[in-house]
Amino acid sequence: NAGVTQTPKFQVLKTGQSMTLQCAQDMNHNSMYWYRQDPGMGLRLIYYSASEGTTDKGEVPNGYNVSRLNKREFSLRLESAAPSQTSVYFCASTRLAGTPGTGELFFGEGSRLTVL
């Protein structure tokens, strides 16, 4: 049981390049999330998808787009990367959308992105 799988684990980009971070979960979860984590800080929500076919902005969505490809997969795209987007990106999922307080988050191992 793989849980939440993110690819790639490491990526170096030049300013202005584009790339897509892929995330897949095999737990039949409805809700999926993308967070970023900067050094010494907590996680900040970029986008989330409460269920297949829906996406919503989180705290820091500017410069990013997302696609919920199907129930398993949720991708994060940087159209024109900037140095400020250098960060570690985490994908997460939870069992049921809108559960009343249970529904723990399961995280991937992270994708470390450097933009030069």
**For other proteins, the closer CB: 19 or 105:** 105
Residue of 28, 3, 21 whose CA lies nearest to 96: 28
Residues 28, 63, 38, 97, Cα dihedral to 10°:
-20
**For other proteins, the closer CB: 108 or 115:** 108
Residue type, 80: S
CB of residue 87 to other proteins, shortest distance in Å = 14
**For other proteins, the closer CB: 31 or 85:** 31
The residues that touch other proteins, with contacts defined as CB under 8 A, are 4, 31, 33, 35, 40-45, 48, 50, 56, 58-59, 90, 92, 97-110
The Cα–Cα gap between 25 and 112 comes to 19
